């Protein structure tokens, strides 16, 4: 982006942009972004209070927005749940998506084995139709 306003954004805003860029990267990693992924990204952008212009810019250049991992355990689990939801939104989690989620899990502060186990649990619960809140409760 490179604007003066961008240089003065709050840490919270940068964290939101980083989260959104991670989700965009997950949506792209299998080589295509389908309608369900776009719809979820648009919904998340609104929930994160990202303007359409900012969301569009992040979608064009997701690598320019670093991940800022949350400090709180609950927030780290929430983020991991969102990553798994993005990978499964099209009904299939391919190997490239699994590898990227594992990297993100480690970046969030989970041990490699823990990130893998948590990811499998989250995916199973998503497939069972559990809500994000119920999944979070089961992890904490």
Which range marks the domain in which residue 74 is found? Answer: 9-139
Q: Is residue 1 part of a domain?
A: no
User: In the prediction, which pLDDT does 9 show?
Assistant: 53
Q: Is residue 34 part of a domain?
A: yes
Please write the tens of the pLDDT for every residue from 23-45: 999 999 988 888 999 999 999 99
Q: Please determine, for residue 2, whether its predicted confidence score (pLDDT) is greater than 80.
A: no
Please write the tens of the pLDDT for every residue from 6-23: 544 567 889 999 999 999
- How many independent structural domains does the chain possess? 1
The rounded percent of the chain whose pLDDT value lies above 90 is 65
User: Taking the CA of residue 44 as centre, how many other CA atoms within 13 Å lie in the half-sphere pointing to its CB?
Assistant: 26
Q: Is residue 4 part of a domain?
A: no
Nearest to 69 by CA among 33, 119, 19: 19
The answer to whether residues 126 and 88 touch, using CB atoms and an 8 Å cutoff, is yes
């Amino acid at each position: 982006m490179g604007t003066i306003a961008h240089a003065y954004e709050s840490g919270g805003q940068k964290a939101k942009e980083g989260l959104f860029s991670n989700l965009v990267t997950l949506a792209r990693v299998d080589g295509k972004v389908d309608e369900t992924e776009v719809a979820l990204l648009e919904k998340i952008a609104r929930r994160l209070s990202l303007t359409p212009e900012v969301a569009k810019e992040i979608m064009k250049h997701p690598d320019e927005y670093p991940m800022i991992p949350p400090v709180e355990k609950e927030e780290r689990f929430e983020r991991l749940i969102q990553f798994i939801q993005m990978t499964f939104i099209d009904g299939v989690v391919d190997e490239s998506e699994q590898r990227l989620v594992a990297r993100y899990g480690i970046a969030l502060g989970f041990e490699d084995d823990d990130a893998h186990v948590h990811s499998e649990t989250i995916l199973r619960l998503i497939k069972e139709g559990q809500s994000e809140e119920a999944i979070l409760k089961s992890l904490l």
